[in-house]
Copies of this chain bind each other. A is one copy, B any other.
Amino acid sequence: MAKIEDVAQKAGVSVTTVSRVLNNRGYISQKTRDKVSQAMRELRYQPNEMARALFRRKSNMIGLIIPSVAHPFFGELAYHLEDCAGQRGYRLLLCNSNRDVAKERKYVEMLKKNQVDAIVMGSSVLEIEHYLHLDLPIVSFDRYVSDKIPIITSDNVGGGMLAARLLIEKGCRKPACVYRGVDGPHHQALLAHGRIRGFEEAMSEAGIEPVCRELPSGDTIPNGNDEEIERFLREHPEVDGVFASSDLIAVEILRACQRLGKRVPQEMKLIGYDDVPLASLILPGLTTIRQPIREMCERTVDMIVKQIDGQQVAGIHSFPVDLVERETT
């Protein structure tokens, strides 16, 4: 690879001059500028960004830690985040934690060593202390970590309520909710659990007590909860509406219904969460609660840039959710 010295030599100027052209500083005549550009083109010179980053103490890289990009929700998240970050000149270092505490810790360390400018935590099962003395801008997705760390989330409670009200409105007498358990030290900090709380709250306001079932934790895709779900439906044959904490779970429930001969939406109404592409691809189309992922990603990058600029941006950034009604309700 050509280096700046080669360019200087080829253009017949000094290294400093080339650097000045590269960084647009100081006085440079158009003629020299052209000579240098020409030399760069001929040598196919690309400045070594690592060297520049070293000097500037800024890598323009953001670490993204999520359970798995193979999960449709996180895949979409990663896509938009990469896009938004790219527009601001940042690249994305991808990390799949599988919600494994040890892997997550290793990733955090690795990202630090690799001098990323910030970390986006979409997984976060670590103890708070691991982040505090990290001295790196962090944005947390959907989880409380500490007062210093901004959180991007959606109105989970509101989403749960929307779901509850829709089920009631559609005439459900015996609603249920099904969600995936999470292990790790701080599962209660997971804001996504607000979906369930909102659901239960709205139900209780209406004087209804829903049946709730927690599925074993785990993040394989497909989840493989078929038996567990079928058992649940058999144990509660009176249930005529289910709010699932994610579309993936909702789809599993849908299939269980179809296997058990329960007609959806006539005998069973179903609402998911996330509005993953899958939701609109199946038949019947899945009614679900949509999170504005794109906007959330934009804000995430915004928060990061602000933090890098030294601004304090702690707090919860909650985004409104939409009810997307399709054919399962």
A positions within 8 Å CB-CB of B: 1, 44, 46-51, 53-54, 59, 61, 64, 68-72, 75-76, 78-80, 82-83, 91-96, 109-110, 112-115, 133, 135, 221-222, 248, 251-252, 254-255, 258-259, 277-278, 280-283
Q: Given A48-B115, A50-B115, A91-B110, decide whether A69 and B72 contact each other with a Cβ distance below 8 A.
A: no
Q: Which residues of B contact A258 (CB under 8 A)?
A: 283
* 9 A-B pairs with least C-beta separation: A75-B75, A70-B79, A46-B113, A49-B113, A70-B76, A94-B94, A92-B94, A49-B114, A221-B277
Bound together, the chains give a CA A64 to CA B281 distance in angstroms of 27
Contact A82 B94 (CB under 8 A): yes
Bound together, the chains give a CA A327 to CA B297 distance in angstroms of 38
Contact A46 B112 (CB under 8 A): yes
Q: Quick one: copies of this chain in the complex? A: 2
Contact B79 A69 (CB under 8 A): yes
Q: Given A54-B51, A91-B114, A283-B258, decide whether A277 and B79 contact each other with a Cβ distance below 8 A.
A: no
Contact A282 B280 (CB under 8 A): no
Interface centre among A61, A135, A278, A281 (most CB of B within 10 A): A281
Selected A-B contacts with CB under 8 Å, 14 pairs: A46-B113, A64-B94, A69-B78, A70-B75, A70-B80, A82-B95, A91-B110, A93-B93, A222-B277, A222-B280, A251-B282, A252-B281, A259-B283, A282-B282
Bound together, the chains give a CA A36 to CA B49 distance in angstroms of 31
Contact A135 B1 (CB under 8 A): yes
Chain B nearest Cβ from A36, distance in angstroms: 17
Contact B278 A281 (CB under 8 A): yes
Bound together, the chains give a CA A280 to CA B255 distance in angstroms of 10
